[in-house]
Amino acid sequence: MMIVQLRHSFFQVFTMSMLWVILLLTLFYGGEKITVGYLWHAAGIAAICAALFGVMYNALWNHLTLKPIWNILISSILSLGGAMLGAALFSAEMYEVLLPWLPGMIVLSLVLHTLAFYVYARMDSRKKAEELNARLQ
């Protein structure tokens, strides 16, 4: 069941990401001709988004039982790596502009993933407590 859910999430995120990247291509390069090779870059960006948001986050936060520090580190490193790879596929110039900011992005990613984890954990524990209280009544 988990594999079916992850596959469904992958293709759902892939489709939405592909549409988003095509919208960005239209906005940034609307009057220019886009080569077929660049469309493969767009498919690569969509695949990165689908692997990260459709599979990795879903598996880390909903199915795997790692310690919180590992969830935070894995999700921070992979999401930042995916973002940089996606930026490189979209535009080499954009990648060059972002590269000097990498140390700050690492710190920001770790802080935000830590905050998100603890907010998610608190909401999840409240939800489970309410479910248990409802079953007891």
Going by pLDDT thresholds of 50, 70 and 90, the confidence category of residue 73 is: very high
Q: What is the DSSP string of 83-132?
A: HHHHHHHH-HHHHHHHGGGHHHHHHHHHHHHHHHHHHHHHHHHHHHHHHH
Provide the mean pLDDT of the chain: 91
**Residue 82, pLDDT score:** 96
Q: Is residue 81 pLDDT above 80, yes or no?
A: yes
Q: Look at the pTM and tell me if it is higher than 0.95.
A: no
User: For residue range 105-126, what is the model confidence (pLDDT) as tens digits?
Assistant: 999 999 999 999 889 889 988 9
User: For residue range 31-47, what is the model confidence (pLDDT) as tens digits?
Assistant: 777 788 888 999 999 99
Torsion from C-alpha of 73, 78, 83, 87, nearest 10 degrees: 130
